[in-house]
Amino acid sequence: MEQEDKPKAEKKLSYGAETIKVLGGLDGVRKRPSMYIGSTGIRGLHHLVYEVVDNSIDEALAGYCTKISVVIHSNGFVTVTDNGRGIPVEPHPKLKISALQVVMTMLHAGGKFDKDAYKVSGGLHGVGVSVVNALSEKLIVEVTRDGKLYVQEYSRGKPTSEVNVVGNAEGTGTKVMFKPDTEIFETTELIYDTLAARLKELAFLNKGLEITIKDERTGKEELFKFERGIIDFVEYLNKNKNKIHKPIWIEKQKNGTHVEAVIQYNDSYVETLFTFVNNINTHEGGTHLSGFKTALTRTFNTYGEKLKVLEGMKLTSEDVREGLTAIVSVKVTEPQFEGQTKTKLGNSEVKGIVDSVVSEGLGIFFEENPSAAKTVIGKSVGALKAREAARKARELTRRKSALEGSSLPGKLADCSNKDPSKCEIYLVEGDSAGGSAKQGRNREFQAILPLRGKILNVEKARLNKILSSDAIVTTVAALGTGIGDEFDIGHLRYHKVIIMTDADVDGNHITCLLLTFFYRYLPQLIEGGHIYLATPPLYSLKKGKSISYAYTEAEKDKLLKEIGLEGINLQRYKGLGEMNPSQLWETTMDPATRVLKKVTIEDAVEADRIFTILMGDEVAPRRQFIEEHALEVRELDI
């Protein structure tokens, strides 16, 4: 695609102490860490690594860095190294201390606030390396520039040494080695796969940039480098799907905003669409997403009419996104983020820019590839007809409900409280477990919906087929939100939706089918933190009149060691139905004692890929996935 000239990387621009702008100190970071990194749990811990990596990415965006390396050490340290320009070390003109120390100890101090040093920069919260420093037991920073190696050490944000020259060195770059503080974080055990997934994403978004990750604890290491950038990204997402055409690549610079998009359709019924602004995954969308959707719908309708395949009908945005896999990546000089998690782009001008760039690029592709255009638009027409059939099915369901005098399913044992924020619903597998749950529950705030029959695998079906599945229709009716274009989270009747299945292969399969349904058709429930998994015990250990429950194999072994084997009656629960109502309440439903697991999407890209592998048509990748991960399974009853 045609694009404007990009600014050359070899700018004669100095990146020195004078470009470091300072907006405030580090006070309060250790007192309220969640304000700066989101949480003190596993997510916040990983965020520390992302903050340091984002600085290196900014150097790559500016055209000065080609390699980034992340190493997880066995001793609790993490090292991030890049070959960028190196953080400036000379005295800061106003503060009269090394610019390196300014960057490391002052909040909102950095080159990205200087328009000449960085045109665009990422960093979700932009809190920078100073926050990482404040929340680290120990941090060592090494800078290579001007032919010398500079080193400074810190402890919990305070310098424990001066900026010292320790020798001569070639090249330029920054190396940050830090150990997250055990006083702050609930866990300091980094998860390799979580970090690797984010680094791979960054490599896709920055074509030609080499990113490596190594885990010294296990010896595992990977190298990510994608010469075609987001074209490779889309092909990775579509790897286990049947593609309809080659990827459509669109790239252009307009009014200072750089737009890049890649589109490729497959024969599935689900959409996989990710949007990024300055490398930040904008989960909540925003103006760039609106512009993309508008362009897609208009262009499809224009060419559909030209090809005479619309039969007088109009395609909607939902129709043209069936089977779509796309990445939209924009680089904006001054992004304005909004939304609950600050991942929604608010810049109004970006909508029109993305709209015009994508319309033009897609239009050229359709003109030059008429057969691909006909296939893709034909698929959208099929989606439109299926949507009409789904609407009729919904109306029929509503008419039936009206005749029965209630819009709630008859199988539902509802709770008496009508405040959704205080109510929860258990989706329970099978009748016997449903019976126990109904008797054992607290009727004030707990509703029970027994699910009978097979749950449909929605990965392989359109909405009209899904609406013929009894288990799914009753679930949607009970939740009250509606589905598809009728969805309204404001009508959710229970703020906790708890999946409760047997702790065996069949139960795990039903859980997977339900999670696939929520992820593909009601993702707002997962994003809003409304979906939970109940954790029934695996064992009961009875001795005399006392009874204990074990939820994992390790817990069982620990209990056996503490009370000994003599006189112990050990029972392995095969299913929920084996527990009487009071046991089910005590172990799995009583808010005071139960263990609930909240379902979150830490990495939407990886979640999409795994659902495709586990629930899609391709058998070979599923077999490979199972073989690779079989040893990680801890509790499985066959």
> What one-character-per-residue DSSP string does 43-66 give?
HHHHHHHHHHHHHHHHHHHTT---
Tokens of 489: 């989270």
- Alpha-carbon distance of 552 to 101, in angstroms, equals 48
Distance CA 233, CA 207 (A): 10
From the candidates 251, 429, 459, 586, which is the catalytic residue? Answer: 429
**Torsion angle in degrees (nearest 10) through CA of 36, 40, 41, 45:** 60
Distances (CA, A) of 539 to 547, 571, 575, 637: 10, 5, 11, 12
Say if residues 244 and 379 touch (Cβ distance below 8 Å): yes
The yes-or-no answer on residue 114 being catalytic is no
Neighbours of 490 (CB within 10 A): 8
Which parts of 53-205 are beta strand (E)?
67-72, 78-82, 109-110, 136-145, 148-155, 158-159, 164-168, 173-180
Q: Are strands 272-277 and 324-331 parallel, antiparallel or unpaired?
A: parallel
Contact 172, 85 (CB under 8 A): yes
Q: Is 181 designated active site? A: no
Cβ proximity of 578 and 604 under 8 Å: no
Q: Is 470 a known active-site residue? A: no
Residues 6+ apart with CB under 8 A from 288: 259, 275, 277, 282, 328, 330, 345, 350, 351, 354
Element (H, E) at 540: strand 539-543
8 contact partners, CB below 8 Å, separation of at least 6 = 63
Catalytic residue among 137, 146, 222, 504: 504
Catalytic hit among 183, 431, 506, 557: 506
Looking at 181, 201, 502, 608, which residue is catalytic? Answer: 502
Instruction: Report residue 633 as tokens.
Output: 């399974």
Give the Cβ contact number of residue 89 at 10 Å: 20
Structure tokens at 217: 């604890």
Sequence-separated (6 or more) residues with CB below 8 Å from residue 337: 277, 280, 282, 343, 344, 345, 346
Task: Check if the beta carbon of residue 175 is closer than 8 Å to that of residue 30.
Answer: no
CB count within 10 Å of CB 186 equals 12
502 in catalytic set: yes
In which order are the strands placed within the sheet that holds 569-572? 546-550, 539-543, 569-572
Helix (H) or strand (E) holding 472: helix 470-479
Distance CA 87, CA 109 (A): 12
Q: Are strands 324-331 and 280-281 parallel, antiparallel or unpaired?
A: unpaired
Backbone angles phi, psi at 119, to 5 degrees: -75, -45
- Token readout for 318 is 């939902």
CA torsion through residues 410, 411, 412, 413, sign: positive
Q: Is the alpha carbon torsion for 277, 278, 283, 284 positive or negative?
A: negative
Which residues are within 8 A (CB) of 125 and not within 5 positions of it... i.e. 6 or more apart? 36, 37, 38, 51, 342
Q: Give the residue numbers annotated as catalytic, written as ranges.
A: 429, 502, 504, 506
